[in-house]
Amino acid sequence: MYLCTSAALMILTITTMMMLISSTLSKKTIMDREKTSPFECGFDPKSSSRLPFSLQFFLIAVIFLIFDVEITLLIPLIPIVQLTKTSNLIIIMMIYIIILLAGLYHEWKQGALNWAI
């Protein structure tokens, strides 16, 4: 037990020291306007280097990820079928799916799913 504790403490100390050393050595001291500006073959850029990003697309992507992760939480319920009563499992799955559908309905009513051009 003492050996594990001392090894963990040593690893924590070494990693903390490495992170501190790397952060102090990698600091940029001079922020030059020319170094932070976009580079286009030695000339000033003709247009903005940043493309406009659709906030609606980002919102749809986040909603998709949330529901995708929640659907993957249903997968572990498949092996539980053999361990529990079928009626209990059906009730749990239905409650979970109703919560998902309520969240989807809320997003729909808030207008987050309307694609505006």
Structure confidence by residue, pLDDT tens digits, 26-81: 766 556 666 666 666 666 666 665 667 777 788 888 888 887 887 788 788 778 77
**Structural domain count, the chain:** 1
Residue 60 lies in a domain: yes
Distance separating alpha carbons of residues 108 and 71, to the nearest angstrom: 18
CA distances from 71 to 64, 67, 78, 94 (A): 10, 6, 12, 13
Which range of residues forms the domain containing residue 75? 53-117
Placement of tokens 């799913």 in the chain: 113
| 98 within domain boundaries | yes
Is 10 inside any structural domain? no
Predicted TM-score (pTM) of this structure: 0.45
